[in-house]
Homo-oligomer: A and B are copies of this chain.
Amino acid sequence: MIQQLTIIGVGLIGGSLARALRVAGAVGEIVGAGRDEAHLQRAKELGVIDRYSLDPAAAVRGADMVLLAVPVGAMEAVMRAIAPALGADTVLTDAGSTKGSVIEAARQAFGELPANFVPGHPIAGTENSGVEAAFAELYRGRRVILTPTATSSPEAVARVREMWRAAGAEVTEMDAEHHDRVLAATSHLPHLLAFSLVGTLAKLDEKEEIFAYAAGGFRDFTRIASSDPQMWRDICVHNEPALLAMLDRFEADLRNLRQAIAGDDGDYLLKVFGRAKAARDRFCDRE
């Protein structure tokens, strides 16, 4: 049971955790913090938080658990702001999509990695953002990856694990570098490609007509291009090495497909398409 949970950044991710923990009866008071008062006021009206402060340091006072759910580019500044106000037993975790960069931000902000700091990443979300989109079931059956540092205390890890489990998630652990590589493959690169493709088509002269003839496959394929641009700018910049490495592999394979099309090498296309279909059918069709 968490006595006081402080959530900095009350959007889809933070707001959904708040709703889930309330439903589970796993939290006492929920305090929000952020930069936009109208937004925090709305979160309070919706019953997502009990009270809020525009000052992150004030918001974390008295908290036994603090969740940072801000874009990864804002992590270091928020950590610096709350550092003096964190209690000795307060557990600090985050929901950032990149973990190496958040750990580096903590090192910069705190001077060393605190024993109560447990980096985390819930693998859940929709293309919608904001507290209005938050719902208690977002994490049900989804995975949350924790990437404890060498100095994270087992007790702090256990408390963060328990929080996400109470929200319905399945919690696993891996090292931060491995997380960043896996997520570059399944999330960051796909988002980059979707944004890039829609951007390319939006520049075409006949873009209105082109989108008018888009079918269901296109809508699904580009759904993630409706995600929050600022959040994804931050992720791309903060997972640069892993993302660029994966992008290089992708581009090399795409060039081979291009050559096969230009050279009428249908056998090569059939081999690649068939392997891709088999992989997707096998791994992804548990919906």
Chain A residues near B (Cβ < 8 Å): 73, 123-127, 142-143, 145, 182-183, 185-187, 189-204, 206-230, 232-234, 236-237, 240, 243-244, 246-247, 249-251, 253-254, 257-258, 261-262, 264, 266, 269-270, 272-281, 283-285, 287
Contacts and interface: CB of A to CB of B under 8 A. Distances in A.
A142 B215 contact: yes
A224 B226 contact: no
Between A199, A202, A228, the greatest number of chain B beta carbons within 10 A of the residue's beta carbon is seen for: A199
A219 B10 CA distance: 26
A216 B142 CA distance: 10
21 contacts: A123-B213, A123-B215, A186-B201, A190-B197, A194-B276, A195-B276, A196-B276, A197-B276, A199-B253, A199-B272, A202-B275, A208-B283, A218-B284, A221-B221, A225-B277, A229-B269, A230-B270, A232-B269, A233-B266, A237-B264, A240-B264
A210 B197 contact: no
Q: Which 8 A-B pairs have the closest CB atoms?
A: A211-B283, A229-B273, A202-B279, A198-B276, A199-B276, A233-B269, A229-B274, A186-B214
